[in-house]
Amino acid sequence: MPNLINVNYKQTGQSKSTNDLGMREMQEKAFAGKTAQYLLIKAPPASGKSRALMFIALDKLKNQGIKKVIVAVPEKSIGASFGTTELKKFGFFEDWSPNPKYNLCTPGKEKSKVTAFLEFLESNEQILVCTHATFRFAFDGLDPKRLDDTLVAIDEFHHVSAEGDNILGQVLKSIMANSTAHVVAMTGSYFRGDSIPVLMPEDEAKFTKVTYTYYQQLNGYDYLKSLGIGYHFYTGRYFKKHPDKEMSALAEILDESQKTIIHIPSVNSAESSKEKYEEVNHIIDVLGVLDYQDEETGVLYIKSHKTGKTLKVADLVNDNPKSRDKISGYLREINSPDDIDIIIALGMAKEGFDWPYCQHALTIGYRGSLTEIIQIIGRATRDSSNKTHAQFTNLIAQPDAQDEEVKLSVNNMLKAITASLLMEQVLAPNFKFKLKKDEDDDSDEDDRTIKIKGFKLPTSQRAKDIIETDLNDLKAKILQDPQMLKAMPGNVEPEVINTVLIPKIIREVYPDLSEEDVEAVRQHVVVDSVIKNSTIEEQGSKKFIRMAGSFVNIDDIHIDLIDKVNPFQKAFEILSKSVTTQVLKLIDEHIQSTKIEMTEQEAILLWPKIKEWVKKNNGEQPSIQAFDHKEKRMAEALVFLRELKRKKALENG
């Protein structure tokens, strides 16, 4: 199956080159915000967030009156990223040298780690590294004032939530409200993958934000020049040969010459066999025959069915502590592509896991969380001399009309599609949009600036910040909205999506925005999405943009024109060529069975289209039994408007 998305990059080397202090591009950008009390760093996997934190923390210790640094990571394996690191030899004034005694990301009971945490607060040591869990437990009953003049750094910040029962979120809120502590929050994906915000607006507003995009990161690599994102559908079990196929779906797409991380389905998902160890055995059977397992490292040596080559495989699904520690320790020390060929994982090898040689992230089963998908893709997007292309493939069960879980399967397929839509937005270069005035002189504008007639600019700093740093996060929330999922595949007019559904979601996400700024943010979301899904071509001295199948002179773009384009249609069009008509019918039937409610705003918006439709069809009105979604929607709008007219007549009667 072809990729839904394929993005090419220029290999400028810029994101990997360092300045006089030894900082890469993202780290230099983050360091510029070093004096902020609350700093939020939003940057993709592999951009160097760990080292950026070291630079900032050391400056706070030496120059800003901070006395201690606490680094909290989501799981023990990520703690290795904050081990002793030489910085002076590259130009910085100090090395990062935490005392190993206060690296609490080691095997052992939480009780002893909490004791060590409290000892650290009373000691002369300056740096402690622990897990989120240890940090939460240690804070229980601790006076927040004990963290005065302390820097608290939270890695993978999207684990925080404004929800009342999220303990990490409560801890952070208490620290900010009741101590002089500084906070550095770091994440590759600020949205959580659910409808709950990471921070409440009033708390988020306190943070200085540093944003470094996926495009900046990948475009500035030395070796990697393309990234593909695709989906492969299967029936039955992914590891079993289907009667109509020569081999299993897994065998079809698993290229053993590519360094691959395989994430098996969550045991709670429909795709899982519920026997995770058996699934690992099945994958090994697909690869070849187990020769032996190295007792010292835990590496499995498997003789390939296809080539006879011996493959080195790491099993991270086995949760026996001794086995897990052996193979995890081995993976931390690898320094060559030849050291491992395939990693099989369940919950591990996602956030913060560093295997630069990985070429293919193969994920089995739907991932409803867009954050999780971002993190998994990040495992394959490290720059390394052994690859020019990185690939993410999602192997997912095809909806089956005979299956009792068909509703769940369709919902999951829609979530998978929204993930590809978002990733297309995340991976593309950013544009700047401005209001086009009649007297404008475009001679001084660069090729990343587009001027639009009728375009609205934000008035408040809050709206400007959202547009500057939060557009992708906002798009994630829009794409996860149940009503939007049902609307996107062409079931609702683009104008309704753009001018009714999107502003409704923006108001829910940012209730503090004025209507004027809601409209400015809405226009930026829609314009950014439409432009990124379009192609721009030059003909002579003029530029044209292809939107919704036709070319428009870029000088003639008006917001009204853009509002007539479905900003999220592209992936559905590609997908419709990749799945059977039966599957598309199942998706359609499910969407129709959970039809979208009509609003007065939408009905009024559709009225001119209804009149136009009636005129074209010789006075015949649209039918509510029509197979065409748009005709049916217009008929529903007519019914709605008649009922509205009847109610108003009664009120005025």
Which helix or strand (DSSP H or E) is residue 488 part of?
A: none
The answer to whether the CB of 115 falls within 8 A of the CB of 150 is no
User: Which residues of the chain carry a pLDDT beneath 50?
Assistant: none
Q: What predicted TM-score, i.e. pTM, was given to this entire model?
A: 0.80
The rounded mean pLDDT for the chain is 85
Both tokens of residue 71?
Answer: 């680094």
Q: What are phi and psi of 100, to 5 degrees?
A: -55, -25
Q: Which of 21, 31, 38, 32 is nearest to 94 (CA)?
A: 21
Give, as one character, the DSSP assignment of residue 173: H
Both tokens of residue 23?
Answer: 């900082």
Q: What is the dihedral of CA 533, 537, 542, 543, to 10 degrees?
A: 10
What integer pLDDT is reported at residue 591 of this predicted model?
64
The answer to whether the CB of 545 falls within 8 A of the CB of 551 is yes
Question: Residue by residue, what is the 3-state secondary structure of 593-614?
Answer: HCCCCCCHHHHHHHHHHHHHHH
- Report CA-CA distances (Å) from 601 to 479, 486, 598, 604, 646: 21, 18, 8, 5, 17
Q: Which of 57, 52, 58, 50 is nearest to 77 (CA)?
A: 50
Both tokens of residue 469?
Answer: 């740093």
The residues, any chain, with a CB within 8 Å of residue 624's CB and separated by 6 or more, are 632, 635, 636, 639
Domains of the chain, CATH where assigned: 17-212 (3.40.50.300), 220-397 (3.40.50.300), 426-592 (no CATH), 597-653 (no CATH)
What integer pLDDT is reported at residue 132 of this predicted model?
92
| Total Cβ atoms within 10 A of residue 382 | 19
Helices 370-378 + 406-427 axis angle, to 10: 60
Q: Which of 518, 526, 534, 462 is nearest to 495 (CA)?
A: 526
